[in-house]
């Protein structure tokens, strides 16, 4: 029995795992190869906190900030997402992030860019069980191909530690029909017009 898996007062915590696990499946739609985590103490650890619901209590996998308490995630998706909610699991300590800021479709953000107004902000509670759910403004986040999460502060520690970030929503495949049509139109046009022109030119030269 793991103490961090026990209910901590959330009324819906005892009946949510299976249903919640399905709805928090957007981690599988993240382009992990291009996900960035800025100010991570160990390179490559930031992407690992986006994991299956059933692995949310694997506290051996986490990301910790380096120079100060800030963390910033640039999260590209492989299609379009309607983002509905977010969960953040940390420690029951001052290393838990205390605020989360969301930016929609702003690839490659850095800390210098975070002075801009966020599309939505949340004051976080210390959550070691995944019982707290932060609902997004669906009208704002109904067509997201890139999400930036900025954690600017924690509850007073020098560094911030996160074990799990869950993304809830709906996914739509990206469409590439325009590229396909252009490819098929361009090739026959080149082929169709090249030979007749050459024939006309050769015919004139032969006169």
Let me know whether 18 and 93 are in one domain.
Answer: yes
Look at the alpha carbons of 137, 130, 23, 42 in this order and tell me if their dihedral is positive or negative: positive
| Together in a domain, 104 and 198 | no
Over residues 34-73, the pLDDT tens digits come to: 999 999 999 999 999 999 999 999 999 999 999 999 999 9
The model carries a pTM of 0.77
Residue span of the structural domain in which 199 resides: 176-207
Residue 189 has pLDDT above 90, yes or no: no
Q: Are residues 96 and 192 in the same domain?
A: no
Does residue 138 or residue 5 have the better pLDDT?
A: 138
Give the start-end residues of each E strand in 56-178: 63-64, 71-89, 99-104, 120-123, 134-135, 144-151, 161-162, 164-173
How many structural domains does the chain have?
2
User: Do 180 and 170 belong to one domain?
Assistant: no
Digit-coded pLDDT (tens) for 137-174: 999 999 999 999 999 999 999 999 999 999 999 999 87
Same-domain pairing of 54 and 110: yes
Residue 169, classified by CB atoms within 10 Å of its CB into exposed (0-12), middle (13-18) or buried (19+), is buried
Judgement on whether residues 134 and 193 belong to the same structural domain of the protein: no
pLDDT at 203: 53
Give yes or no: residues 163 and 180 share one domain.
Answer: no
**Domain of residue 99, CATH code:** 2.60.120.470
pLDDT of residue 20: 81
- Co-location of 141 and 200 in the same domain: no
User: What's the pLDDT score for residue 22?
Assistant: 87
26 and 92 together in one domain: yes
Residues 169 and 202 in one domain: no
**The pLDDT of residue 200 is above 90:** no
Q: Are residues 83 and 140 in the same domain?
A: yes
First to last CA, the chain: 95
| Span 92-112, average pLDDT | 98
Joined tokens for residue 72: 């910033």
Q: CB neighbours of 169 closer than 8 A, spacing ≥ 6?
A: 26, 81, 82, 83, 84, 85, 141
Q: What is the mean pLDDT of the chain?
A: 84
122 and 155 share one domain = yes
């Amino acid at each position: 029995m793991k103490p961090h898996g026990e209910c901590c007062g959330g009324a819906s915590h005892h009946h949510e795992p299976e249903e919640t696990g399905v709805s928090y499946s957007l981690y599988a739609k993240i382009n992990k190869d291009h996900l960035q985590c800025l100010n991570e103490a160990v390179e490559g650890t930031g992407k690992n906190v986006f994991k299956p619901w059933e692995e949310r209590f694997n506290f051996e996998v986490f990301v910790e900030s380096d120079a100060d308490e800030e963390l910033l995630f640039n999260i590209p998706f492989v299609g379009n997402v309607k983002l509905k909610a977010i969960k953040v699991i940390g420690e029951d300590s001052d290393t838990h992030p205390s605020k989360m800021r969301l930016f929609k479709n702003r690839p490659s953000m850095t800390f210098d860019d975070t002075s801009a107004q966020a599309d939505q902000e949340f004051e976080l509670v210390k959550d070691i069980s995944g019982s707290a759910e932060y609902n997004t403004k669906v009208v704002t986040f109904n067509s997201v191909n890139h999400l930036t999460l900025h954690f600017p502060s924690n509850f007073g520690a020098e560094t911030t530690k996160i074990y799990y970030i869950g993304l809830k929503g709906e996914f739509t495949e990206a469409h590439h029909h325009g590229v396909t049509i252009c490819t098929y139109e361009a090739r026959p046009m080149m082929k169709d017009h090249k030979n007749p022109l050459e024939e006309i030119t050769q015919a004139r030269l032969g006169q």
